């Protein structure tokens, strides 16, 4: 009797566990048309159309990003973004004028801005999450000013003061700040990475630098005529470190990301990422920048093809969070004053 019940329940448990891949269905030429129109209209309107350009671009990428046969949605309206952007630009103009007329007051305003940045960072992320939706459920972000201040200023400074020893902790705290304060509807995301995980990546990077440095030094010492080869090896080393750091940190991030029982995985590789970046760079150069939209699409396709969600059960069981208004002002201040995360 018990064996019969087990055999009946086991298949249902297996069916509830699924591996869902992310897929981006956008096309480079299709996005190029949107991009070129956005650029031209933004120039003609002296920047006013930039709010509409941003919404059009985001809606294109969101609507072409699929998970479990459902696409994401970008919900922001251009006028909302434009209002926030105009306020931010006006604030920048006032700051510039005041600084030119009364430098001391400008310094006071700069200090005030320094302490205001964490608030605007919180607002920016909250707005972006609030305007993102999947299966008609919007994302949320709720962090305190103190949390933003710590990850923006305190932890990076601690990393520098400890000669980089605690920089992996600074990066960990940044990722925890973003993930643990984000939610899908009312369900919060989880992040399980540790300082050791990040520390191992940084130790590997240091090991690569030391090993490559020894090889380059030996070549330069034994065969001085091969100075050009040493220069090439240094460039290859830097590129390799950049690729390794992107791949290792991205894979670590998604492997430790969770949403209740649902988990994520990332399978980026150095060779594949390097190939995509090299192709994008080559075509961008020979087309004098016109390949940039297709390059963005190519990179997005690759990144999405490497992301997988191990879903335990249905994705339709999440309850939508209560409605709330999140201002676009924070995000636009971030763009005008050129800060963000």
10-residue mean pLDDT series, the chain (341 residues) = 44 65 95 97 94 96 95 94 88 88 89 93 93 93 96 96 94 97 94 96 91 78 68 83 95 96 95 96 96 97 96 74 58 56 43
pLDDT of residue 6: 44
In terms of residue numbers, what domain contains 272?
192-312
Please tell me the predicted confidence (pLDDT) of residue 324. 54
Q: What is the pLDDT of residue 4?
A: 45
Specify the pLDDT at position 238.
Answer: 87
- What pLDDT score was predicted for residue 314? 76
Q: How far apart are CA 38 and CA 44, in angstroms?
A: 10
For residues 173 and 323, give the distance between their C-alpha atoms in angstroms, rounded to a whole number: 29
Give domain status of residue 139, yes or no.
Answer: no
Contact 66, 25 (CB under 8 A): yes
Task: Report if residue 308 sits inside a domain.
Answer: yes
pLDDT score, position 77: 92
Q: Does 201 fall in a domain?
A: yes
Q: Which region holds residue 79: left if phi is over 0, alpha if psi is between -120 and 50, else beta?
A: alpha
Residue 265 covered by a domain: yes
pLDDT (0 to 100) of residue 331 = 67
228 within some domain: yes
Nearest residue to 238 via CA among 214, 275, 212: 212
Closest by Cα among 95, 86, 140, 93 to 116 = 95
What's residue 189's pLDDT? 96
Q: How would DSSP label each residue in 306-324?
A: TEEEEEES-GGGPPPPPP-
Burial class (CB in 10 A: 0-12, 13-18, 19+), 305: middle
Counting the structural domains of the chain, the total is: 1
Give CA 194 to chain center in angstroms. Answer: 20
Whether 185 is covered by a domain: the verdict is no
* Number of other residues whose CB lies within 10 A of the CB of residue 215: 13
Which tens digits make up the pLDDT trace of 261-319?
Answer: 899 999 999 999 999 999 999 999 999 999 999 999 999 999 999 999 998 877 777 76
Is residue 293 a part of any domain in this protein? yes
- Confirm whether 331 is domain-assigned: no
């Amino acid at each position: 009797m018990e064996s019969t019940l087990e055999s009946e329940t086991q298949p249902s448990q297996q069916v509830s566990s699924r591996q869902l891949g992310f897929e981006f269905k956008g096309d480079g030429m299709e996005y190029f048309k949107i991009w070129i129109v956005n650029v031209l209209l933004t120039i003609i309107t002296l920047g006013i159309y930039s709010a509409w350009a941003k919404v059009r671009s985001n809606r294109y990428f969101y609507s072409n990003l699929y998970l479990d046969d459902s696409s994401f949605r970008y919900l922001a309206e251009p006028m909302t973004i434009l209002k926030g952007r105009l306020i931010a630009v006006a604030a920048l103009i006032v700051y510039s004028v005041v600084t030119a007329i009364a430098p001391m007051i400008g310094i006071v305003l700069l200090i005030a801005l320094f302490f205001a940045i964490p608030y605007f960072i919180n607002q920016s992320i909250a707005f972006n999450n609030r305007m993102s939706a999947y299966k008609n459920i919007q994302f949320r972000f709720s962090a305190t000013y103190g949390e933003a201040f710590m990850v923006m200023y305190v932890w990076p400074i601690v990393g520098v003061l400890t000669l980089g020893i605690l920089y992996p902790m600074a990066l960990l705290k940044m990722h925890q700040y973003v993930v643990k304060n984000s939610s899908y509807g009312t369900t919060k995301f989880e992040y399980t990475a540790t300082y050791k995980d990040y520390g191992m990546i940084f130790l590997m990077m240091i090991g690569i630098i030391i090993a490559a440095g020894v090889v380059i030094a030996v070549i330069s010492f034994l065969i001085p005529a091969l100075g050009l080869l040493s220069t090439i090896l240094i460039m290859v080393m830097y590129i390799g470190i950049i690729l390794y750091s992107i791949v290792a940190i991205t894979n670590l991030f998604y492997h430790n990301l969770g949403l209740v029982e649902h988990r994520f995985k990332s399978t980026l590789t150095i060779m594949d990422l390097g190939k995509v970046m090299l192709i994008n760079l080559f075509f961008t150069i020979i087309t004098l920048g016109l390949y940039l939209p297709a390059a963005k699409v190519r990179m997005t396709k690759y990144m999405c093809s490497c992301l997988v969600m191990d879903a335990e059960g249905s994705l339709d069981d999440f309850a939508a969070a209560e409605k709330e208004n999140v201002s676009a002002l924070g995000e636009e201040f971030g763009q005008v004053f050129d800060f963000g995360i």
